Structure 1
Amino acid sequence: MKCIHSLVLPLAAIGALMFPAVLPHGASLDPIDSTGVQVQPQQQNGISYLSGGIGEDEAKAIQQAKGYNLHMTFSIGVENKYVPDVDVVIQKEPGQTVLTLSQAGPLVYVQLPPGKYAVVATRNGEAKHDTADVGSGTARNLVFHWGGEN
């Protein structure tokens, strides 16, 4: 029995290293240095949103924000580098524009009324399209990725 107990602790330690605790998207236990955070809630057409995420503290601040039911992330290249220069149009179907942002990102969180929305994200003239069916439950995550580094 002693032999089994002496194996359990090392195996548990190895398991903890191989399978660290997984935190929900956006959850971080690390403190945020708010002196470097410039993100403030904004509104357009009665729609609240956050746009930013330049730097680790600003990204954490947005990811920890509550009450936004559409989360968008913009990145480029094989390294998935965040990019802050994306034009975004969100339309409530059929074609009613509810939000238009210029030079947004790399993270954009939006509080939309429940419904189905079409989202177009454009960077350097290359448009990416997606749809989001948002409600009052879990936030919908959209990731827009461009292959180039320019």
Structure 2
Amino acid sequence: MKSLQHFLLPFVAISILLFPIALNATSLAAVDNTGVQVQPMQQNGMTYLSGGIGEDEARAIEQAQGYNLHMTFAIGPENKYVPDVEVTVQNASGQTLLTLSDAGPLVYVQLPPGKYNVVATRNGEVRRDTAEVGSGAARKLVFHWNSDE
């Protein structure tokens, strides 16, 4: 019996160490693009993606490259994604670069390096945040409302 324990112990230890890697691999699953309608859009020279309704569409946006501002819109204690948000992105001098209606629940924007003010409005409730983007990792903003009303 002891020899069996000594034999199985390394396999159990390796399995435990690899478990987090296996969990992350599920998020890298292939996206079924046949039903995904997310296409890059442009406004005032800014390229953006807006959508994320459904698992495949959300994954397609999350895997998109080249967008340095990632915004997520959610409500309630369960952080349920919501798609009906008005978004305004302004540069540091207050010039509006992007205005979206019925945006989300995910919005990814490709911006020149700089500091930006973002205003997200849902059902009249306003949320504000600032983002400084550069050539490094994308800046992530999460806008949350307490309820669906």
Q: Any gaps of 5 or more consecutive residues in structure 2?
A: none
CA distance in 2, matches of 1:113, 1:120: 18
Q: 1:137 to 1:82 in 2, by over 3 A?
A: same
Number of residues paired by the alignment?
147
State the Cα deviation string for residues 50-93 of structure 1 (Å, max 9, x = none).
Answer: 00001000001101111100000000011111000000011101
CA distance in 1, matches of 2:148, 2:141: 20
Residue of 15, 40, 43 corresponding to 1:13:
15
Q: Any gaps of 5 or more consecutive residues in structure 1?
A: none
Q: What RMSD over aligned residues (CA atoms) do the two structures have, in Å?
A: 2.0
Matches within 5 A, 1:103-114: 103-114=102-113
CA distance in 2, matches of 1:89, 1:16: 43
Instruction: Please tell me whether residue 118 in structure 1 is matched to residue 120 in structure 2.
Output: no
CA distance in 1, matches of 2:24, 2:140: 16
Q: 1:102 to 1:31 in 2, by over 3 A?
A: same
Deviation, 1:32, is: 1.2
Deviation, 1:137, is: 1.1
CA distance in 2, matches of 1:55, 1:40: 15
The equivalent of 1:90 in structure 2 is 89
Determine what percentage of the aligned residue pairs are the same residue.
65
CA distance in 2, matches of 1:22, 1:117: 35
| 2:133 aligned partner, one-letter code | V
- Equivalent residue of 1:95, what SS? coil
Instruction: Please tell me whether residue 50 in structure 1 is matched to residue 67 in structure 2.
Output: no
CA distance in 1, matches of 2:12, 2:24: 24
CA distance in 1, matches of 2:104, 2:118: 14
The equivalent of 2:127 in structure 1 is 128
Deviation, 1:7, is: 1.9
| 1:6 aligned partner, one-letter code | L
Deviation, 1:103, is: 0.6
The equivalent of 2:99 in structure 1 is 100
In the superposition, the TM-score normalised over structure 2's length comes to 0.89
